[in-house]
Amino acid sequence: MALGLSTGGTGGGEIQPYINYDAKAGRMFRVDRSQQGDGTWATDKVEITNTVQMVMDLANIRVGWINYTSQGPVRKLVVLGQEPIPPRPDDKNAEGKPAFKQGFEINLLLDKASGGGAPRVFGSAAGCVIEAMDALHDAYSSAAESKAGKLPIVKIASVQPVKSGQSTNYKPTFAIVNWIDRPQPLAGSASTVAAPSTAPSTGSTVVPPPAPQQAAMAGANDFG
C-alpha cells in the first residue's frame, strides 16, 4: 500500500484545530475549541461532510502508530518516505491488547465555506479511513500536478458501508477536484502543527451516512 499501512494508533498540551471523521456514522466534523471566562475549554462540532473542500498536504503526510487515550493521542509518526515506520510500541490497553494502532495524520486547510482559518490536522487509525487515504495518496502521487509541487483540493465524494462482524463502518471516498500552488499557511514543515485530541464521542447509535450533495469547485481564493 502507498502509505505502508495495513488495515486488518506524547499527547497533552494545547489542542490545535482539527477535523474528525466518524467512521461509525460516515460523517466529518470541524472541531473548534474556545476558552471560557472561567478558564475551562468548550468544544463545538460542526458537520461539514457534504460541502467540505480541503487543501491537503499529502506531500508531508505522517504515518506510523497512534494510541488514542483519554488524555489525547500518543503518536509515533514519521513523514512518509523520509524515515522507516518505527516498530509498534509494546504498550497494552486495559484488555491486554496492543494500545497502538497504525494510523496517519495530515495537515490541511478548510475552504472558507467550511470554516477556513489556520491549518488543521486530520488523523485516523480506522482501517476504512486508512484505505480511503491510501487511494487518495495513490491518485496524488501519480498526478503530474504533484510532481510540479502543487497540492490537491479534496472533497468527500461518497461514503459506503463496510461490514465487519456485527458492526458497520462507513468508508469515505476522497476525490481530487482541483490543484493549487502550496498556500503560505502550509509552507512550514509537517511537524509545525500539533496533532488533534481524541475523536469526539458520538455514542453507540449507528446512523445512516449523509446523502451526497453538490458543491461548487473551490479555487485558491477559497482558502486562507
* pTM, entire model: 0.79
Answer yes or no: is 202 within a domain. no
Answer yes or no: is 133 within a domain. yes
Q: Give the residue numbers spanning the domain of 56.
A: 18-62+104-184
| Residue 65, phi-psi category: left (phi > 0), alpha (psi -120 to 50), beta (remainder) | beta
Distance CA(45)–CA(201), nearest Å, equals: 11
Tens-digit pLDDT profile for residues 72-121: 788 899 999 888 998 999 999 989 999 999 999 999 999 999 999 999 99
Q: What is the domain count for the chain?
A: 1
Q: Which residues pair with 43 in a beta bridge?
A: 33
Distance CA(50)–CA(158), nearest Å, equals: 9
Answer yes or no: is 13 within a domain. no
Answer yes or no: is 132 within a domain. yes
At 165 the three-state DSSP class reads coil
The answer to whether 48 and 114 are in contact (CB under 8 A) is: yes
Average pLDDT, the chain: 84
Answer yes or no: is 48 within a domain. yes
Answer yes or no: is 191 within a domain. no
**Which three three-digit cell numbers place residue 60?**
508531508
Q: Is the pLDDT of residue 197 over 50?
A: no
